[in-house]
Amino acid sequence: MKKIVVFHPALAPYRLDFFNSIHKSFNAKFYFSESNVPTQKFNQDSLKSQANFKINFLNKGFTIKRRVFRFGILNILKNDKPDIVLVSEFGPVTISTYLHKFLFFNKIKIYTICDDSVDIAKDCKGLRRLLRNYFVSRLDGIVFTNKEVSDWYSSNLNMNAKSLIFPIIRDELIFKEKLTKSLEISREIIDKHQLKDKKCLLYVGRLVEVKNLESLIKAVDLVSNEISDFRLLMVGSGEDEVRLKELSKSLRLTNEIIFIGRKEGNELLAYYNVSNTFILPSYYEPFGAVVNEALISGSYVLCSNKAGAKSLIKKGVNGDVFDPFDIETMAKLIIENTQYPNLIISNSNMLENYEETFINFIKKMN
């Protein structure tokens, strides 16, 4: 069994199944640069209890303008003697790993995870652009979240690295088991918010500008004139929360829009159960792991064309893709696909098969 060392910024729920699978397929060691995701304070105790691997931290180092520099990589590579190193993006840890390979460990293969959408790849500027353009011809492989981004890199950059595809998806069997365990909470939510016989649209994510929630609220204003008993459930928190609530109030949508607050674990999954339509309206979104989660829950997903997760959508089958700046089209899609009362959902709309996708990924990595 090959040895792999994984360097990653922080442990997050949308990477947990992936890392558990790597642990199962390799003799793996995992090292994280930070104790939590800076923009999302996940319950790390809960995540650690679900991790099948030992969690190690790169504790020594410093941070400059959100760029994390860590020491100790040379000793890890020297002691663990990996065949493969999996890093993230093109930052300081990737630079350090590549430098050590160049100087001391030339037989090690280095792969990096790149979460770019096509729009983000095109708009890449400054130091990140310079580093990206340098490493695409020098690393052994790049793990992209969809084929469209991979094709863009191959067509527009001097790409010598092997291209691998693995979207940010969850293990369907594990995720659906968790959905089932949250059903009782789902019933409580329906009672609490009086959602019985209501037509529910769900949003899950941070309440910040790039998520384009002001446009979503304006779309709901158009929807409310067309659909009776409509509700938008907004699960999340963030710096725009007060402003969005004020906008909702000014448009007299306080009945139609319910601000739930931030949830995770079974409390979050319970909301996937009670809504039959999901929306991600971001104008900036590297991928959008919530799209996969909503699809597994059985929701019909309306996804921004700026999100990498649009690759998971098959138009008219499990969802639709739209321009996030086109409020009228957004409203039209909501009206067309939120016509039925909420129900406890148990059928998957996913097109991706986790096990098959992961097996193909491992074959290419080896």
Does residue 218 contact residue 244 with C-beta atoms inside 8 Å? no
DSSP state letter for 312 = G
In a domain, 101, yes or no: yes
CATH number at residue 250: 3.40.50.2000
CB-based contacts of 289, cutoff 8 Å, min separation 6: 14, 168, 169, 170, 309
Based on the fold, state whether residues 101 and 150 are members of the same structural domain.
Answer: yes
Higher pLDDT, 11 or 1: 11
Statement: the pTM of the whole predicted model exceeds 0.85: yes
> What pLDDT, on a 0 to 100 scale, did the predictor assign at position 366?
82
> What pLDDT, on a 0 to 100 scale, did the predictor assign at position 325?
97
Q: Over the stretch 297-355, which tens digit does the pLDDT of each residue have?
A: 999 999 999 999 999 999 999 999 999 999 999 999 999 998 776 656 556 777 778 99
Q: Give CA–CA dist 190/273, Å, rounded.
A: 10
Q: How many domains does the chain have?
A: 2
Based on the fold, state whether residues 199 and 313 are members of the same structural domain.
Answer: yes
Q: Over the stretch 107-163, which tens digit does the pLDDT of each residue have?
A: 999 999 999 999 999 999 999 999 999 999 999 999 999 999 999 999 999 999 999
Based on the fold, state whether residues 260 and 232 are members of the same structural domain.
Answer: yes
Based on the fold, state whether residues 22 and 52 are members of the same structural domain.
Answer: yes
Residue 5, beta-bridge partner list: 29, 85
Based on the fold, state whether residues 204 and 82 are members of the same structural domain.
Answer: no
In a domain, 114, yes or no: yes
Based on the fold, state whether residues 39 and 103 are members of the same structural domain.
Answer: yes
CA atoms within 13 A on the CB side of 260: 24
Based on the fold, state whether residues 246 and 140 are members of the same structural domain.
Answer: no
In a domain, 308, yes or no: yes
pLDDT at 31 over 70: yes
User: Range of 147's domain?
Assistant: 3-169+353-365
